[in-house]
Structure 1
């Protein structure tokens, strides 16, 4: 591996580490398409992405645990169901690869899922912020009394599981959602974070910070299982994974600390924008492949890296600004 490529992977690891600690996503949703754009085989891109997820998640899980941002019951249930679905997703990838269709279908799936989920999160968060700004204090108090709700909280099929900071959710609903995410994780080569985080926030009504910490703990196991399965078929390249992990060790600590500084709507909006950027990048690359426009592959990589730089930069900037504001408030209160 050349020195330039080594520096690129370490720097990319730092950026993804920040995003991982902040959003609870292992980063393979960016690593996998980036490796594909750089010319690595689909199996290697997917397997190496999952191996990176496992290594980075260990760092982030320990940090979030110290902040009390983990729901252990939910993490255990999601881990069981997600890992059960990963093998099925991996089997689909290997089958498509033998037919020469894996690259195209996975790219289209990335565009669809990342784009839809990202657009929904941005729209919902923006709408919530606008409504909160227009509503009176009385309406805000009413919302607090009603408590957090989610799309699936109305399904009262026992046994029910009480979640940290959220309502009770049916055990069967949690397992079903985890299974679906697991299949998609094995198929797309991701730890499932970009699907699990919105599932917990919007489906189960879990607060964003707790969703991030719980997601990371679950990813620690599912990413490890996924990378092990791909390693058995020669799908993990340690020369890629090692420099990425070296960079992410620092970035993950910075991103995790930022979750306690940035408001919940801010976390959601940054999360959605990150997904939209990934969807655009993969779409550009696929158009380039379809029409033989090689330069679009480079444009796609620039969009992926640019998205990581902009969003991680925004996270760090807003965290530093919040720290300064808190310091000023403490100084004023002590006067």
Structure 2
């Protein structure tokens, strides 16, 4: 069983490094699908996101994909937001609303961002902005922090699409910058939950072990794909996660896990195929 959790951590870690997310927005639904209470899944996912983010930040730092000032502003605002969200989540758990409200929140938010990433846009070239307005940066960070503490995610799954669509960051810069702020946010969120929520730390550390390697792989993969391809795969990931959550709401847990697992297998298969083709071309030339 431990091996399966390492593989799960590694796989989600690849997606974390590739998409600039902590990995929690995938891991939290998976843990709920296999029977963990939402508040325990949230806390475990935040612990996982710390490990995956550390690994991803280091990889993107080496590739110069981090805009530090923006990352710090997003992180500070997000950390503040986690303290507003925690009482709400604990209230949901205490009154038994968490098993319904949290999946519905996931579904609504993921559905919106899937649409925003996949909708057709005009062909005009986006202007890269690496010094966005202070107010907008703080708002996006605050939204990321709220989502992090409420849903057990890094916040990157919200911040990356907003950085691309509103702040006009190119995808790689959005991914690398997001991961720095995600690391700050999930650390604060995990500490605030860990003092009151009991989790399986062995499980968390096993997942983190896989993430440390997977995030490095995912970060390097961003250099092989265009910004439009990254956005497209991100949007498809949202849709797949949305479908799995809807299955969970109707108590079709096996179907939910199967859909999410199939997408990850297909995407990782494509990554492997493209990487082998690239290596072959390099060897021939």
- TM-score range (shorter-chain normalised) is over 0.9
The answer for unaligned runs of 5 or more in structure 1 is 132-142, 149-164, 289-295
- Structure 1 residue matching 2:132: 3-state secondary structure: strand
Separation in 1, partners of 2:227, 2:279:
16
> How far off its partner does 1:78 sit?
0.0
Are 2:277 and 1:321 equivalent residues in the alignment? yes
Tell me what 1:154 maps to.
none
Question: What secondary structure is seen at the aligned counterpart in 2 of 1:169?
Answer: coil
Distance 1:319 1:220 in 2: 28
1:17-74 CA distances to partner (integer Å, 9 max, x unpaired)? 1101110111111111111111112111000000100011111111110000000000
Could you tell me which residue of structure 1 aligns to residue 97 of structure 2? 101
Counterparts of 1:77-88 in structure 2, within 5 Å, are 77-88=73-84
Equivalent position to 2:264, from 292, 308, 313: 308
| Structure with greater Cα Rg | 1
User: Are 1:196 and 2:152 an aligned pair?
Assistant: no
2:32 alignment partner, SS class: helix
List structure 1 segments (4+ residues) > 6 angstroms apart after TM superposition. Answer: none
User: Within 1, Cα distance between the matches of 2:212 and 2:157?
Assistant: 20
State TM-score, norm by structure 1. Answer: 0.81
Contact 2:52 2:208 in 1 (8 A): yes
State yes or no: 1:207 paired with 2:163: no
Aligned residues: 285
Asked if structure 2 preserves the Cα contact closer than 8 Å seen for 1:274 and 1:311, the reply is: no
> Residue in 2 aligned with 1:297?
253
Gaps of 5+ in 2: none
Indicate if the aligned counterparts of 1:255 and 1:315 stay in contact, CA closer than 8 A.
no
SS of equivalent residue, structure 2 residue 224: coil
CA distance in 1, matches of 2:56, 2:222: 12
Alignment partner of 1:166: what SS? coil
How far has the Cα of 1:215 moved from its partner? 0.9
Q: Quick check: 2:76–2:184 contact (8 Å CA) kept in 1?
A: no
* Residues in 2 aligned to 1:316 and 1:205: alpha-carbon distance in whole angstroms: 30
> CA contact under 8 A between 1:45 and 1:235: conserved in structure 2?
no
Matches of 1:7 and 1:299, distance apart in 2:
22
Structural RMSD (CA): 1.7
Which structure 2 residues correspond to residues 110-149 of structure 1 after superposition, within 5 A? 110-124=106-120, 131=123, 143=124, 148=127
TM-score of the pair, normalised by structure 2: 0.94
2:44 to 25, 48, 52: 48
